[in-house]
Amino acid sequence: MKSRAPAQQKGFTLVEIAIVLVIIGLLLGGVLKGQSLIEGSKVKAMVNEYRGTASAINVYLDKYRAVPGDDLLVVAHTGTGTIPTAATGGNGVIDTGTWVGAAAAAAANESSLFWEHARAAGIVGGATGGTSSSSLGGTLGVTSNLARVTSPAGARGQFVVCASGVPGSIAIQVDTAMDDGVGNTGYVFGATQAGLPIVVATGATVYAQTTTFTQCFQS
């Protein structure tokens, strides 16, 4: 009896291998493109939050001739709100104690009152109170107190908007979009995050991709 020769296994042709490689390349490209789009949307959201917070100060100023958080006549202007401490209230700046925008509204901390006053006036949204979160989930605060926020030489904006929990990869792109892309120069700068509440007293620092920063924008 004659034994049958085993059937020869057919391998992939070069054309089939090329098609598989093309498909894999398209899938990888799609994933990378998707990640790039997600990161780009985060950068755009942070840029809008920095500029929007700074703009809220100007809108309130135009409407009431006072700075939100520093407004001694907030109740007369908006019908509600905590009046800042008389010692610092009404001086045209947003004074803070030991933190920036990370606790309930308090008369001695105008950074917290900023959000309360601006919300009472209908200028910014969000829950009532003295805190606000950024689109990245960190704390968003505003101050004029440069003892709290040590900025680079040459940056002399009156108000400083800061966000905690900003990844280095995002911080670099935000700085590039708004300023010079360098963490320790210009009007947008980073400081190594030392936890919450936001206290940026160590000065500006160079960005690193893998480090999380508190990032500030002087307006």
**Model pLDDT for residues 70-95, shown as the tens digit of each residue:** 999 999 999 999 999 988 899 998 98
197: pLDDT strictly greater than 60: no
Res 130: pLDDT: 76
Dihedral, CA atoms, 91, 107, 136, 147, nearest 10 degrees?
A: 50
Which burial class, exposed, middle or buried, applies to 29 when counting CB atoms under 10 A from its CB (0-12, 13-18, 19+)?
exposed
Q: How confident is the model at residue 129 (pLDDT cuts 50, 70, 90)?
A: confident
Query: Is the model's pTM score more than 0.85?
Result: no
Helices (H), 65-79: 74-78
Q: Is 74 helix (H, G, I), strand (E, B) or coil?
A: helix
Please give the average per-residue pLDDT across 3-32, as a whole number.
Answer: 71
Closest CA to 129 of 138, 118, 137, 139: 118
- Report residue 121 as tokens: 């006036």
Between CA 152 and CA 166 the distance in angstroms is 19
Dihedral, CA atoms, 52, 57, 63, 64, nearest 10 degrees?
A: 160
| Sheet-wide strand order for 188-192 | 140-143, 160-167, 212-218, 188-192
| % of the chain residues with pLDDT over 90 | 37
Res 148: pLDDT: 62
Task: Write down the residue that tokens 């605060």 correspond to.
Answer: 141
